[in-house]
Amino acid sequence: MVEKKKVVVFLPKPHKHDYHHAMPLSVLSTTSLIDRSKFDVQVFSATDRYDFESRLLKHAKDAVCFSVSCLTGYQIQNAIDMIQKVRKANPKLPIIWGGWHASILPQQTLESKYADIVVIGQGERTFAELTERLASGKSLRGLQGIAYKDQNKKIVFNKPRPFEDPNNFPPLPVDLINVEDFIDDRDELRELVYITSQGCPFDCGFCAEPLVFKRMWKGLSAKRVGEDLQKLVKKHDVGFVTFSDDNFFVSEKRVQEICKEIIKRNLNIKWGRVNGRTRQLINMKKETWELMRKSGCADILVGAESGMQEGLDLINKMTSIEDTVKLIELAREYDIEITPSLMVGLPFPSYKQAKSEAERNAITEKELNAILDMLDQAYPTKDYFEVLLFVFTPYPGNPLFQKSIDLGFKPPKKLEEWAFFDIEQQNLPWISDELYGKVQQLMDFIFPYSCNKYLQRHAKGLKPIHWIFHKTALFRWKHRFFAFPIEHKLLMLFRNVRSILRR
């Protein structure tokens, strides 16, 4: 019997003090076409639910390659830390980078000493062919979808690989992981993450999606989704499924068919966190909304993005503030929550005309107040499930990246520097520390505690404290009062102490 060659793949943790609790979909999908009769595939995710590091290093000693998949930010640092340890165990092991960051900046990634090969874009077929070549010692010349360093350390770009229908790929190889390690809790239901499509046909000005998938989109068939969900739900007693698609609602017909599959198979689940665009959702038929409610749709994540029409136009969102409010009211009729995702600090042209820090701050203050005004209109009783707010993040490959550079943003020059480029703190020259503080206060304290369902999320034994926090948060929101954030600091202190005690 021929001994199988070993392939080790790793999904780094997203933040320094956070671990992955969701299924590592990105690395599972890229291993789906590997010939398991030839290869022993080992998949690891940075989780605190098992000792992944010692097991990973053990398998890396005799592997044919080590692959990491990263978003921009701390995942890069965690990947580099692991690569350094892997290279001690196996100094000649080829290091492969995939995922969003490497696909956006393959040249810069390969300029790092921590990268030998980059898989660009959709990786399923590319990674399978790559492992075959590495195992057999064949040249990487001509292998579509990669860039690599040749024997002379020269960076070589092969032809891109055409975007392929994911229905051509087998189901996620969940047998490579212990699924129970990635079951989370959502409203006392066992939650699992799943994905039904790849890509997005739209071109929002802040998004890197058009650079990676070239505005293409393909979705799994409804039957395939139904079959996958039935296996996962029944085997693991799942009560809530989170769909992590970049845009679930591209095809309304497919949405209807997926809902019918869930109903027909009597899955009895709730599902949500599903991503959609405002105008798409508003234009859907009543029949679709009814099917979504009947099949268990609980909430939809919507890129509302801005409370200013100027902001929506800047990012080419093709919608309006009125549309956002209308969508929230429409979804309420079907008992479906809308979670708006918003951002401040967009690179408006008016920043160029601002002559002082006070004038720049006035622009961001106007932007933030417009968001709160829109939320007041959409949620007069604060009956939302969640509100997400971020500071704008300039990513390479989209129109707003260059606009940000024009305003003084200095992007990192090498892979290692991007590790410290985080969605919560980018040091944009037109954004003050005060605004970052307000965003954190809103996300950590004011939004969660202003919600009329705030008690559902907190320990009943501390009800008097939570009641005080609730009233304080409502006052701060109403009066746009962010000074002396004592409650926010107390809350964060409590969370930090609790986190230390749980380690």
In a domain? residue 166: no
Residue-averaged pLDDT of the chain = 93
In a domain, 445, yes or no: no
61/204 same-domain check: no
- Domain finish residue from 123, 157, 191: 157
Looking at the structure, do residues 395 and 468 belong to the same domain, yes or no? no
**Domain of residue 153, residue span:** 5-157
Q: For residue 413, what is the domain's CATH number?
A: 3.20.20.70
Residue 41's pLDDT band (boundaries 50, 70, 90)? very high
Assess if residue 164 is contained within a domain.
Answer: no
How many CB atoms within 10 Å of residue 371? 23
**174, part of any domain:** no
Same domain, 217 and 127: no
Task: Please indicate, yes or no, whether residues 406 and 314 belong to a single structural domain of this protein.
Answer: yes
pTM for the predicted model, two decimal places: 0.93
Statement to judge: residues 199 and 343 lie in one domain:
yes
For the stretch 210-230, pLDDT in tens is 778 888 899 999 999 999 999
* Residue partners of 280: CB distance under 8 A and separation at least 6: 249, 250, 252
332 within domain boundaries: yes
Between the alpha carbon of residue 26 and those of residues 122, 172, 180, 204, the distances in Å are: 10, 10, 18, 23
More confident: 420 or 62: 62
* Residues 499 and 361 both lie in one domain: no
99 in the same domain as 193: no
Q: Would you say residue 499 lies in a domain?
A: yes
Residues 213 and 100 in one domain: no
Question: Bigger pLDDT: 394 or 284?
Answer: 284
> Strand runs (DSSP E) across 171-310, as ranges?
184-186, 189-194, 197-199, 217-219, 240-243, 270-272, 274-276, 299-305
Q: Which pLDDT belongs to residue 393? A: 87
pLDDT-based confidence at 165, cuts 50/70/90?
Answer: very high
**What does the pLDDT read at residue 22?**
86
Asked whether residue 335 is domain-assigned, the answer is yes
Question: How many domains are there within the chain?
Answer: 3
CA-to-CA separations, 346 to 315, 342, 422, 443, in angstroms, rounded: 9, 11, 16, 18
Residue 168 in any domain: the answer is no
Cα 274 to Cα 482: distance, rounded to the nearest angstrom: 32
Q: What is the CATH number of the domain that holds 147?
A: 3.40.50.280
Inter-residue contact 62 to 35 (CB < 8 Å)? no
Order of strands, sheet of 337-344, starting from the edge strand that comes earlier in the sequence: 274-276, 299-305, 337-344, 388-391
Task: Please state, for a pLDDT cut of 70, what percent of the chain lies above it.
Answer: 96
Q: Is residue 132 located within the same domain as residue 200?
A: no
Query: Tokens standing for 451?
Result: 């919600």
Among 431, 461, 491, give the residue marking a domain's end: 431
Same domain as 348, residue 300: yes
Structure tokens belonging to residue 373: 């005004």
* One-letter-per-residue 3-state SS of 402-424: HHHHHCCCCCCCCHHHHCCCECC
In this prediction, residue 127 carries a pLDDT of 98
Band (424; pLDDT cuts 50, 70, 90): low
Residues 230 and 367 reside in one and the same domain: yes
**Is there a single domain that holds both residue 317 and residue 421?**
yes
Q: Which two tokens stand for residue 170?
A: 């087998």
Summarize the confidence of residues 282-290 as an average pLDDT: 98
pLDDT at 2: 66
- Least confident stretch, 74-88, 122-136, 171-185, 385-399: 385-399
